[in-house]
């Protein structure tokens, strides 16, 4: 078990409901359960696809540790703290554009009548960045990070920020990197269960428009065909674990 000091990063997809209408539709005779099953399958496919794009964007800068529902846990142990923090922050900031671009690429999925596809336009990305000590322990052939700082990063995911797109930084990050270059950064205090009050900085990226002129010009049949082809290649949590070689 190794004790190191580095960055703990969480990328989390927000805005996805728990398919309330789908669960209600499960009570409809004959078709209800199939509609719910389709919605849940499409939801996992879309979430896994979006997470894959975020992982690909951050791979090489961060080490992916594991999937956690609609989130991914990363870490890094950089040697050069003079240049790395800004490089990391710029990479994370770039994920907003990558995320929205992928949503725009697959906007034709809204043609599908299932609840998940109708709600995909509400999906957005949030990131949480902390710097501190943590443990890397071996679990079978996999590595897992643990410790109080890992707990802190997770606790900060439940906060009072009234936004669905942002990067949250703890003060430990601000101490090694001047965040002012990002522009308007909000300073605030969050209360974390068992850990007390935690000073944080929050950066809100420019809002990106969700639109795809090419898809908008497509006829209904073409959209439906594109949607059907998209869901033929099933993406899920297991696919990502196999691709990146980590456990859940």
The tens place of each residue's pLDDT in the chain, 248 residues long, gives 678 899 999 999 987 654 334 445 555 554 456 667 778 888 888 999 999 999 999 999 999 998 888 899 999 999 889 999 999 999 999 999 999 999 999 999 988 888 888 888 889 999 999 999 999 887 766 788 999 999 999 999 999 999 999 999 999 999 999 999 999 899 999 999 888 999 999 999 998 888 888 888 889 999 999 999 998 876 666 677 777 766 55
pLDDT of residue 17: 54
Residues 171 and 199: their CA atoms lie apart, in Å, by 6
Ramachandran area for residue 235 (φ above 0: left; ψ -120 to 50: alpha; else beta): beta
pLDDT of residue 84: 96
Q: What share of the chain is helix, strand, coil (3-state, %, to 5)?
A: 45, 30, 30
Torsions phi, psi for 183 (to 5 deg): 110, -130
Q: Looking at the domain 2-239, which fold is it?
A: Alpha-Beta Plaits (3.30.70)
Q: Are the CB atoms for 243 and 67 separated by under 8 Å?
A: no
Give the Å distances, CA to CA, from 172 to 89, 203, 236. Answer: 14, 15, 34
Q: b/e for 108-119, b at 16 or more Cβ within 10 A?
A: bbebbebbbbeb
The DSSP symbol for 235 reads -
pLDDT of residue 24: 53
pLDDT of residue 243: 72
Beta strands in the chain (DSSP E): 2-14, 63-68, 71-76, 124-139, 142-146, 166-170, 185-192, 196-203
Q: How far is Cα of residue 222 from the mean position of the Cα atoms in its chain?
A: 30
Would you kindly state where each structural domain of the chain is located, as residue ranges? 2-239
How many CA atoms lie less than 13 Å away from 11 in the CB half-sphere?
34
pLDDT of residue 20: 37
Give, in degrees to the nearest 5, the angle at Cα 168 between 105 and 132.
120
């Amino acid at each position: 078990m190794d004790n190191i000091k580095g960055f703990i990063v969480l990328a989390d997809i927000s805005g996805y409901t728990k398919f309330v209408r789908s669960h209600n539709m499960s009570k409809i005779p004959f078709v209800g359960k199939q509609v719910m099953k389709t919605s849940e399958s499409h939801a996992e496919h879309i979430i896994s696809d979006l997470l894959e794009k975020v992982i690909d964007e951050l791979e090489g800068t961060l080490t992916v540790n594991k999937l956690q529902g609609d989130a991914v846990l990363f870490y890094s142990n950089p040697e050069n703290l003079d240049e790395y923090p800004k490089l990391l922050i710029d990479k994370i900031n770039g994920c907003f554009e990558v995320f929205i671009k992928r949503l725009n690429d697959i906007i034709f999925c809204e043609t599908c009548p299932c609840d998940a596809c109708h709600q995909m336009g509400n999906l957005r990305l949030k990131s949480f960045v902390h710097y501190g000590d943590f443990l890397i322990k071996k679990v079978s052939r996999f590595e897992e990070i643990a410790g109080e700082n890992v707990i802190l990063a997770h606790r900060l995911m439940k906060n009072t920020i009234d936004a669905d797109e942002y990067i949250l930084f703890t003060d430990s990050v601000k101490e090694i990197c001047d965040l002012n270059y990002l522009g308007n950064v909000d300073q605030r205090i969050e209360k974390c269960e068992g850990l007390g009050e935690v000073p944080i900085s929050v950066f809100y990226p420019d809002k990106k428009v969700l639109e795809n002129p090419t898809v908008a010009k497509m006829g209904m049949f073409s959209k439906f065909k594109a949607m059907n082809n998209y869901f033929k290649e099933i993406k899920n949590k297991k696919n990502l674990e196999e691709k990146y070689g980590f456990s859940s």
